[in-house]
Structure 1
């Protein structure tokens, strides 16, 4: 990805949110106090979509260069605004997200797997960037309508801006990742105790 970006993000954004819509938000992260957008080109967005498994990418996308990047960033900020407003207990205007939902054009298809088992798969149109991103918008809508939205959290580490869905049994998760921010907090606490 970006060799200037420090580990653990050197290979791109991490999928640690336990929810695809929040992983979509986490394509912007803090590193050394600076916000970093992992999406700099259409190919970065395509790579994330492929890695997420949320969207089946067509062999070719008929978009103008930069159109997918622009639309993905717009959707990301729409979702970020809606999530932040709902977390703050403020009114949420669904109109911007509904624009993406309205662009969805899909159908179900019955497929046979390699083992001969039948499965149903939803196939989405992808003539426009908004159509290609429609499955992400649908996932975000289901997140925002989630009855246990209190389990959507932002990492408590002051040098982190990543979001996650707390699926732990006790619902006491505080960090985007114990290995990342949880560990940084432990080290900082240890140093503070040594000084005190």
Structure 2
């Protein structure tokens, strides 16, 4: 993956998560729910923030593949949020995205090289996101978490040493929850 620097046009509240969760977090809380990929330029902004703008097209077919991947990831994460592993339906959705690509190993002067090959260039970002999700699952499905704030719908990969992170961002969601608890305590 190339270096990732957030696109300054990216309005999302949580950036820098692993690619799979970064794609999932293109939807965030609001009334109605905010959706970066619903905006005309949102697809290109996401590709830029994800470090994929130079590798992936930002056309309609690529966006459709990305939306398919986001829905497959959302289905799998919903089941993780409920405390179980992704079921057969969620896995089938992930596999449907993965069927459009593969990793080809090659030898090079500096050692082995893995190259991702996809059926169509527009499927690369979607394939990479779902492949990243499989890597996160291998590291520990219990580390893929939904923010504990009731009004937040963002997900993050918990890299804390003890695995007890609860908030997507302590400065926002964590402080809101603490302030609400303090307010309730002061009222009584």
Sort the TM-score into its range (normalised by shorter chain).
Answer: 0.7 to 0.9
The answer to whether the aligner puts 1:162 opposite 2:154 as a matched pair is yes
Distance 1:105 1:77, change over 3 A: same
Q: Provide the rounded CA distance (Å) in 1 between the counterparts of 2:154 and 2:64.
A: 21
**5+ residue gaps in structure 2?**
1-8
Q: Provide the rounded CA distance (Å) in 1 between the counterparts of 2:48 and 2:105.
A: 20
Query: 2:88 — aligned with what?
Result: 92
After TM superposition, the score normalised by the length of structure 2 is: 0.76
After TM superposition, the score normalised by the length of structure 1 is: 0.73
Structure with greater helix share of residues: 2
Q: Provide the rounded CA distance (Å) in 2 between the counterparts of 1:131 and 1:151.
A: 25
Q: Which range moves more in the overlay, 92-101 or 74-83?
A: 92-101
**SS of the residue aligned with 2:23?**
helix
Query: 2:23 — aligned with what?
Result: 24
Give the count of matched residue pairs.
176
Q: Provide the rounded CA distance (Å) in 2 between the counterparts of 1:187 and 1:131.
A: 43
Q: Provide the rounded CA distance (Å) in 2 between the counterparts of 1:42 and 1:133.
A: 18
The answer to whether the aligner puts 1:141 opposite 2:134 as a matched pair is yes
Q: Provide the rounded CA distance (Å) in 2 between the counterparts of 1:190 and 1:157.
A: 15
Q: Per-residue deviation at 1:72?
A: 1.4
The structure 1 segments of at least 4 consecutive aligned residues displaced by more than 6 Å after TM superposition are 108-111
Superposition pairs of residues 1-196 of structure 1, within 5 angstroms: 11-13=10-12, 14-17=14-17, 19-31=18-30, 33-41=31-39, 43-53=41-51, 55=52, 57-58=54-55, 61=57, 65-88=59-82, 89=84, 91-93=87-89, 94-104=91-101, 122=115, 124-125=117-118, 127-144=120-137, 146=138, 148-196=140-188
**5+ residue gaps in structure 1?**
1-9, 112-116
Q: Per-residue deviation at 1:118?
A: 9.8
CA contact (8 A) 1:97 1:141 kept: no
Q: Which range moves more in the overlay, 87-96 or 171-180?
A: 87-96
Query: 2:6 — aligned with what?
Result: none
